[in-house]
Amino acid sequence: MEEINKEQEEFYKDLMNEFYEEQEKFDQILLNKKKEFKKQLKGLINISGLWKWLDENNSWTPEGIVDIIFTDEQKQGYSPHQCVRVERENNYLYMKVSMDEYIKGIKYYYIWQTSNFEDSYFGYLLFELKNGKYFKVSYNC
């Protein structure tokens, strides 16, 4: 019986080591992706303020720099807000939201959000850039 327990213990130990190694690889890929976007966004948005706000509020990943399409289309609960869609994606309707916490130069963002459970949210955020495009971020919290 002790032999089986030791085998199980070794199996789970190896499994957890593999998990942590893969997590480290993923974390490094994400860090590199964020560094690449920092370079692309330089001079287009308050990067340090935005990064700090995103890190404090969400688990997030940069997705791209996109164009948006303004629309009069609205869904239930969106009526008093300006809505947009991402050009060439047209699957999500984003709602304009004023920043609760002021980040110098960023007064609003657009959001599409859904949830799996009552305390688990995920979606996309769009932040306006000085060149008229938007920085798209996926997030979960």
Summary count for the chain: helices (H), strands (E): 2, 7
Residue 87 lies in a domain: yes
Q: What is the pTM of this model?
A: 0.80
d(C-alpha 85, C-alpha 89), whole Å: 7
The model's pLDDT over 62-115, given as tens digits with 9 standing for 90+, comes to 999 999 998 887 765 556 778 898 998 868 999 999 887 778 889 999 999 887
Contacts of 5 (CB under 8 A, 6+ apart): none
- Least confident interval from 13-17, 59-63, 130-134: 13-17
Residue 104 lies in a domain: yes
Question: Is residue 30 in some structural domain?
Answer: no
Task: Establish if 52 belongs to a structural domain.
Answer: yes
Q: Which domain holds residue 69?
A: 42-140
Q: Mean per-residue pLDDT for 9-25? A: 82
58 vs 8: CA distance, rounded Å: 36
> How many structural domains does the chain have?
1
Task: Determine, yes or no, domain membership for 112.
Answer: yes
The percentage of residues in the chain with a pLDDT greater than 90, rounded to a whole number, is 39
pLDDT at 78: 57
Question: In Å, what is the CA distance from 40 to each residue of 34, 37, 44, 95, 130?
Answer: 10, 5, 8, 25, 12
Q: Is residue 4 part of a domain?
A: no
